[in-house]
């Protein structure tokens, strides 16, 4: 039987790109895009789109039955910065959405689940350089606490109910097709748009705040690779570390200046600085490499050049 895929939170930064890629593989009609917001992006109009609030369990069930859904990619969440401003919604959305989807799998209505975790599961007491898969995890943000709890639930549902759930701890994701949705790493997308538009950018993180990041193409490829891997090779059912590259705002600005010599960068840290300071600077991902052959492909030079070229083309269209 051919798989039918439901994407929840399809209008977001990752969802937009994932829908486009999955439709190329599974066919437009077999990838159902859903979001709490009405369709805002033309690119999602190539196949089915439904408005769905993931907190509405009955509507989720009805859509799964209507389209005979076999796989769910759950992307709806409040990200780190937004969740700090709305603790109750952050916890409720990030937890309830996951339990609704895991329960569908437990009751055998769907076969496979993808749910992303984050580097936010780590906290200030975690070793911050080449952070290993298994280490001290004491997150001090609403978002990080919800992701760590989510990881424990994924492993629990796999062990107790044989749910085939797969997950990656994404670093900050950087892509040109879609806008970021309220995270601490958003500066690393906004900076490219502002560099091209106004030639200047004020970073809300200090110049030396090094964080793990990843080009969106690598993130989408990692997502497809973990979902396509044979079940027996997915040995970690909480969530896998994956590394892309690490850089600070100053290092990114320096790289952009190689393309736009007059680009001016300034720094005004806000509440997101404390979130960033609690996260790792770099990630060690040997388990993902060994278990399902993960390998990143973008360095800072390639990422910068790709972002500037594509955003320039987009703006001139
Ligand atoms: P985003 O904020 O860009 O998109 C989330 C989408 O969910 C939005 O389109 C929003 O409208 C939708 N949504 C919100 N509430 C909803 C509800 N009640 N029902 C249905 N949809 C709802 O987020 P993203 O960056 O695409 O992230 C997707 C997932 O990946 C999240 O779980 C996030 O934690 C995780 N992640 C993202 C990054 C990153 O850098 N973007 C890094 C690590 C982990
Ligand atoms: N990029 C995400 C954020 O900043 C990390 O999960 O919230």
Given this model, what pLDDT does residue 282 score? 98
Structural domain of 230: 5-171+214-241
- Both 139 and 199 in a single domain? no
**Same domain flag for 184 and 264:** yes
Cβ(283) – ligand 2 distance below 6 Å: no
Predicted pLDDT of residue 261: 98
Verify that 198 and 91 share a domain, yes or no: no
- Together in a domain, 40 and 179: no
Q: Do 307 and 222 belong together in one domain?
A: no
* Residues within a 6 A CB radius of ligand 1: 8-9, 11-15, 35-37, 52-55, 75-77, 79, 93, 116, 118, 170, 172-173, 180-183, 185
73 and 130, same structural domain? yes
191 and 310 in a single domain? The answer is yes
Catalytic residues: 143
- What is residue 316's predicted lDDT score, i.e. its pLDDT? 84
- CATH code for the domain in which residue 181 is found: 3.90.25
Total of domains in the chain:
2
Residue 112 lies in a domain: yes
Residue 147 lies in a domain: yes
Q: Block means of pLDDT (10 residues each) for the chain, length 317 residues?
A: 93 96 97 94 93 98 98 98 98 98 98 98 98 98 98 98 98 95 97 97 98 98 98 98 98 98 98 98 98 97 98 89
Indicate which atom in ligand 1 lies nearest the CA of residue 74: 32
- Residue 61 CA to ligand 1 center (angstroms) comes to 20
**Per-residue pLDDT, 1:** 61
Q: Whose CA is nearest to atom 14 of ligand 1?
A: 76
Q: How far is the CA of 184 from the centre of ligand 2 (A)?
A: 5
Domain identity same for 181 and 88: no
> Cα of 118 to ligand 2 centre, how many Å?
7
Q: 7 C-alpha vs ligand 1 centroid, how far in Å?
A: 11
CATH number reported for the structural domain that contains residue 219 in this entry: 3.40.50.720
Q: Enter the pTM of the model.
A: 0.98
Residue 218 within a domain: yes
293 occurs within a structural domain: no
**Is residue 153 located within the same domain as residue 260?**
no
Tell whether 184 and 218 lie within a shared domain. no
Task: Determine which residue's CA is closest to atom 2 belonging to ligand 1.
Answer: 181
**What are the DSSP calls for the chain, one per residue?**
----EEEESTTSHHHHHHHHHHHHHH-GGGEEEEESSPP--GGGGGS-EEE--TT-HHHHHHHHHHTT--EEEE-----HHHHHH-HHHHHHHHHHHHHHHHHHHHTTS-SEEE--EEGGG--TTS--SSB-SSS-----SHHHHHHHHHHHHHHHHHHHH--EEE-EEE-EEE-SSS---S-TTTHHHHHHHHHHHTSEEEESS-TT--EEEEEHHHHHHHHHHHHHS-GGG---SS-EE---EEE-HHHHHHHHHHHSTT-EEEE---THHHHHHTS-SSB--HHHHHHH-------HHHHHHHHHHHHHHHHH-
Residues 218, 104 share a domain: yes
């Amino acid at each position: 039987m051919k798989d039918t895929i439901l994407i929840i939170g399809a209008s977001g930064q990752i969802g937009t790109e994932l829908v486009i890629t999955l439709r190329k593989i599974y066919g437009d009609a077999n990838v159902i895009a859903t979001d709490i917001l009405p369709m805002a992006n033309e690119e999602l109009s190539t196949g089915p789109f439904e408005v769905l609030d993931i907190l509405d369990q009955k509507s989720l069930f009805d859509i799964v039955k209507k389209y005979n859904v076999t796989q769910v990619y759950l992307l709806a969440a409040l990200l780190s910065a937004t969740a700090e401003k709305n603790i109750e919604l952050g916890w409720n959305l990030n937890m309830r959405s996951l339990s609704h989807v895991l329960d569908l799998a437990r009751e055998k209505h769907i076969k496979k689940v993808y749910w992303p975790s984050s580097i936010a599961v780590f906290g200030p007491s975690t070793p911050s350089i080449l952070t290993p898969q298994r280490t001290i995890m004491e997150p001090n943000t609403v978002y990080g606490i919800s992701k760590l709890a989510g990881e424990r639930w994924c492993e629990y549902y796999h062990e107790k109910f044989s749910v085939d759930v797969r997950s990656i701890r994404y670093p900050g994701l950087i892509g040109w097709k879609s806008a970021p949705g309220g995270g601490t790493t958003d500066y690393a997308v906004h900076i490219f748009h502002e560099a091209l538009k106004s030639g200047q950018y004020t970073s809300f993180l200090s110049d030396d705040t090094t964080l793990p990041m990843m080009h969106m193409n690598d993130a989408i490829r990692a997502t497809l690779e973990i979902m396509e891997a044979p079940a027996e090779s997915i040995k970690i059912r909480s969530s896998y570390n994956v590394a892309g590259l690490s850089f600070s705002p100053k290092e990114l600005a320096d790289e952009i200046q190689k393309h736009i010599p007059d680009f001016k960068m300034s720094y005004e840290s806000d509440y997101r600085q404390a979130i960033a300071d609690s996260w790792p600077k770099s990630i060690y991902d040997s388990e993902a490499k060994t278990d399902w052959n993960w390998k990143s492909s973008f360095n800072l030079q390639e990422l910068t050049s790709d972002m500037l070229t594509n955003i320039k083309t987009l703006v001139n269209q």
